[in-house]
Amino acid sequence: MTGSVPSEEVPQPGAVPNLHLGRVHRSELANGPEVVVVPRPTVPRVELRVSVPAGTAAGDSAAAAELLRMGIPLGTRELDQEQLAERLQDLGGALQVHQDLDRLTIAAAALSEAESELYHLVASLVREPDFPRDDLAIEKAKLVEGLRSARATPHFPAHEALGELVYGRHPYGRREATEGEVARTGRRALLELHRRTFTPSLAQITVVGDVDPRSTMRRLRSAFSGWEGPRKGWKAPRVRAMTHQDLLYLERPGSVQTVVVAASSGPTMGEPGHIAFSLATAVLGGGFTSRMMANLREDKGYTYSPHARVEAHDRDGLASASMEVRTEVTAAALAELRHELARLATAPVPEEELATTRSYLEGARLVTLQTQAGLASALAQVRGLGLDHRYLERYQTELERCSAEDVMAAARRYLAPTRMTTVLVGDESALPGLEALAPVRRRRPRGG
C-alpha cells in the first residue's frame, strides 16, 4: 500500500491560479463607517456585512453579547420581528447575526433589485433595535435551552475548559454564557449595550454582488446617514497565553468516545509568523491528506474526522487539534497526536508534502471566495482584523514564500507537544495509559 505510486497516465494539472478580486472600491460614510464594495454580478443578488467591535473582548458578559446577537432580529419599534421577517422575504432576503470573540457582524442578503430596501432595513436594526420584553424572554429561554443542550455534548466542556486554561482571566477565556448571566440580562442592559456597541466610527460595511459601486455608495449614505453614536473605541487587551503541560481530564461517565483537543496560542492573521503557523497547522490537520488524517484515521482507524485549524482573533491566533476517538484507544491516539506534533517540530516537512498543503490552502481559498457570500464574509473578517482585500490577494505569494524551515520553526515555537494545552472529555475507562504521557489532572465539567 505505502510506497506505491499512481499511474503515469494521471493528467498533470497546472499551478493554482492567483486570486484576483477585480476592482475593489473603498470609501467611507460621513458619520464614520468604512465601506468596501466589490461588484460581482454572477447572480442577481447582493450580500451586505456590517461589523462592529463587540463581545467578551469588550468586557461584556458572554450572555449579554449573545443576547445582543439574538435580539437584533427582534426588530425595531416600527417593525416587529414578524414584519421584519416578512419584509426580508419580500426582498428575497436573509438575515443572520454572528458574534465571535471580537466582533458582531450582521450578514444580510437580498435580490439585487431590492438593494436599497435591504440597506434601509439593516440600517434600522443597527440604529434602533427594540428588544421588546416579551420577545426577549423567548430568546432568553432559547438561549438557556441551547446552553443546556450544548453542555450535554462532549465538545462544549472541552472548549470551555481550554479557553480558561489558555487565556486565564483574559476576556477570550470567558466565551460561554452561564444561565445566571442570562437571567440577569434584561432589556435595559441590552439597550445600553447596543448604544455602546453600535458606534459608526468603528463600523465596517462590506458589499459584494450584482451592484454598481457608485449607486451602492449613494444608497448606503442614504440608509446609514442617521446613525450616530459615541466615538470611543476599544480592543481586547494583549493575550498572555498560558501553557499547561499536564492533561486536563473531564469526566463524562458512559461516554463511548473521548474528545481530545489540544490548543496553542500564536500569531494572528497579518502578524509576522502567522502564515508559517497556519501552514504548519494545516500540515498537521488540514484537509484530506493531513498527517492526523493519514495516521489517526486512514492508518489506525481511531477516529472519523481528526483535524487542526487556526482561529484568528484580534489578539492571537489559536491553533487547535481535535479528534473524537473510541474510549479504549484514547491513550494510544493521544500518543500518536503527540508523535505528530513532535515530528512537525523536529524534522522539516518534505517539499512535496509542503507543496500539496500549500495548494490545498490556496485552492480552498479560491473556492471559498468564488461566491458572493464567501467573498463578503472573508472581506469582513480580514477587515475586522485590520487588514484589507490585498491581504486576500497576497496570501498565495506569502504561502509560497514560506519554506520548510519556516514551518518547522513555527511548529517548534507553537505546536511542540510541550507548548500544547490538552483537554480530554470522556469516560474514566479512557484513563489507563494517559499517565504515561503526562500528569493527568481530573475534574468534573462545570455546571451551567
Report the nearest approach of other proteins to the CB of residue 372 (Å). 6
101 neighbors 170 (Cβ within 8 angstroms): no
Report the nearest approach of other proteins to the CB of residue 228 (Å). 28
Per DSSP, the residues of 329-390 read GHHHHHHHHHHHHHHHHHSPPPHHHHHHHHHHHHHHHHHHTTSHHHHHHHHHHHHHTT--HH
Contacts of 370 (CB under 8 A, 6+ apart): none
Report the nearest approach of other proteins to the CB of residue 32 (Å). 30
Helix or strand run (H / E) with residue 107: strand 103-111
C-beta closer to other proteins: residue 205 or 361? 361
Q: What CA–CA distance (Å, rounded) separates 146 from 141?
A: 8
- Pick the closest to residue 37 from 211, 165, 166, 180 (CA basis): 211
Q: What CA–CA distance (Å, rounded) separates 328 from 322?
A: 17
Report the nearest approach of other proteins to the CB of residue 244 (Å). 25
C-beta closer to other proteins: residue 15 or 436? 15
Place of cell 497516465: 9
Q: What CA–CA distance (Å, rounded) separates 75 from 104?
A: 17
Report the nearest approach of other proteins to the CB of residue 146 (Å). 9
The DSSP secondary-structure symbol of 89 reads H
Contacts of 16 (CB under 8 A, 6+ apart): 359, 362, 363, 366, 396
C-beta closer to other proteins: residue 243 or 289? 289
C-beta closer to other proteins: residue 4 or 23? 4
Per DSSP, the residues of 22-37 read ---EEEE-TTS-EEEE
Report the nearest approach of other proteins to the CB of residue 431 (Å). 17
The pair phi, psi for residue 241, each rounded to 5°, is -70, 145
Report the nearest approach of other proteins to the CB of residue 292 (Å). 13
Q: What CA–CA distance (Å, rounded) separates 316 from 242?
A: 12
C-beta closer to other proteins: residue 277 or 302? 302
Report the nearest approach of other proteins to the CB of residue 33 (Å). 25
Report the nearest approach of other proteins to the CB of residue 110 (Å). 7
C-beta closer to other proteins: residue 213 or 266? 213
Name the packing angle between helices 330-346 and 274-285 (round to 10°): 140
Q: What CA–CA distance (Å, rounded) separates 388 from 379?
A: 7
Report the nearest approach of other proteins to the CB of residue 135 (Å). 7
The DSSP secondary-structure symbol of 13 reads P
415 neighbors 224 (Cβ within 8 angstroms): no
What is the separation, in whole angstroms, between the first and last Cα of the chain? 49
Report the nearest approach of other proteins to the CB of residue 70 (Å). 12
C-beta closer to other proteins: residue 267 or 306? 306
C-beta closer to other proteins: residue 315 or 358? 358
Q: What CA–CA distance (Å, rounded) separates 143 from 159?
A: 18
Q: How many helices (H) and strands (E) does the chain have?
A: 15, 12
